[in-house]
Amino acid sequence: MQGNRIKKWKLVIAAEAVLCLTAFAGILCDKEEGGKTGAESVQTSQSAPEGEGWAADALSEGYIKWVDFNVSYEALCLCYEWDVNTWGKEVHIDWVEMLAYLGARYGGDFAANEKRLSKDVEKLARQLIEEGATMEELTKDMQYYAYYKEAYGAVLSGMVGEYEIEEADENGNKVWKRVYGLKAFSPIARGFAYSHYADFGSSRSYGYQRQHLGHDMMGQIGTPIIAVESGYVEAIGWNQYGGWRIGIRSFDGRRYYYYAHMRQNYPYAEGLSEGSIVTAGDVIGYMGHTGYSATENVNNIEVIHLHWGMQLIFDDSQKDGSNQIWIDVYPLTQFLYKHRSEVEKVGDTREWKRVYDMKDPLAEAYRQEKQE
């Protein structure tokens, strides 16, 4: 009963927000020691507080306060394929819009609608392509569509688009190719094994009782860690919860990628510092088990793993403090396995680098802006 009542309040608040051309999402957290965001050190409550007073306060602030990203791996794959396959055609289906449509129909619960998912996707594609319907027409009576479009867009908008990447031709020479598709990468380099399971929200007790607001990928020490999306380094260095960690902000400011427990003594790719620009697929560091210590460079975590997470920012007040939003990236981890960056060792050093370079228009534009 309590769960149903909370869900009801979420839908009511979301509906009111859409009518005001805003939507709201919230996860309550504490600020990380050191002043930089990190999912290892925050507390959270994913339930919306009850009461109309809270809803009125949320509406007055005008930005999303919570996001339950429950889009399934299967839904990501199906909608992504429609996006890529219709690129350059008379009707191009945007995967975020398609997912938002499904989210609005399912109330965000993709797991409960797994059996109908494929048919619903096919029907929607047919309406858009064969029947000439528009997404605006199909969603005009959906109260929550605008909310899901903004929320899912905040998560996924940097992952698909046009870019250039090197590939080997028939003679083994590297040539540049312009493509449209997935330009985000798995956080683990190609050829390196790992294991993982759905662990978002599980309990953590070091320092204080809190929830796990990221995803752990278990592997071997020194496994190259990859930038999921292009962005700039916002935080780098030691944190007692995440050990050697690095935080990368997307260029649109909406996403903060947090990578933690990097290798002792040699945690990061050479040359990285605060403000550095990274391109999706770059090596940014190496797997280890540092952290859970106020003393730097300590291996105080038993299991070797990468902790990675994604924080969403709809308002500057959400970067730090008590209203951060962290999402479950487990389905994204599964999805990004499609795109793993191939790496090679740099001579006799401990360094690894990507084999095929990439030109991300967003990174190029950001570099140009910084130079001007």
What percentage of the chain carries pLDDT values higher than 90?
73
- What is the average pLDDT value for the chain, to the nearest integer? 85
| Confidence tier at 193 by pLDDT (50, 70, 90) | very high
Q: What's the confidence (pLDDT) of residue 22?
A: 32
Question: Over 50: is that where the pLDDT of 200 sits?
Answer: yes
CB contact set of 336 (below 8 Å; sequence gap of 6+):
182, 184, 185, 186, 187, 228
287 and 262 in contact (C-beta within 8 Å)?
Answer: yes
CA 45 to chain CA centroid, Å, is: 19
Residue pLDDT, tens place only, 225-283: 999 999 999 999 999 999 999 999 999 999 999 999 999 999 999 999 999 999 999 99
Q: SS3 of 232, please?
A: strand
| Confidence tier at 124 by pLDDT (50, 70, 90) | very high
Tokens of 72: 């399934």
28 and 44 in contact (C-beta within 8 Å)?
Answer: yes
CB contact set of 45 (below 8 Å; sequence gap of 6+):
27, 28
pTM for this prediction? 0.85
